[in-house]
Amino acid sequence: MVGTDTTGHAEAVAVTYDPRQVSYGRLGRRSFPANAEQAAAAKAYIAQLDQARIFRRAIVTTIEMDREFYPAEAYHQDFLVKSPTYRYIVVNDLPKIDNLKRLFADRFRVAPVLVSSRE
């Protein structure tokens, strides 16, 4: 339903990380903020990328600290692991994971920490 642009919601991912293992600045290359300090860093990074014209178009990601994060329904949790051949996963997510493997080769974990393992 989010893909219909009629819900007022955006697709998002919550990232949990250990700052002793990776800095927010390094992680911020792939994700964005959980607090005001991280929001400022993310906005500055987006501005830096736009100014350097790293991409053909301006970055459209928005930083919205005043919006509540709603976890997906249970059947969507760990969806990539459950449905690795689903077209959206193949086209959108697997290339991002390959990029993460390249960017964080020294820290990349092949077996993900699943939401279902935390419950």
Rounded CA-CA distance 95/98 in Å is: 5
Confidence of residue 119 (pLDDT cuts 50, 70, 90): low
Q: Tokens at residue 118, please?
A: 């935390």
Q: What gap in Å lies between CA 107 and CA 101, rounded to an integer? A: 8
What's the pTM value of the predicted model, to 2 decimals? 0.60
32 versus 10: the higher-pLDDT residue is 10
Nearest CA-CA partner of 37 in 13, 65, 14, 12: 65
Average pLDDT over residues 7-16: 70
| pLDDT of res. 31 | 57
Give the separation between CA 1 and CA 80, rounded to whole angstroms.
Answer: 18
Residue spans per domain, the chain: 1-70, 72-119
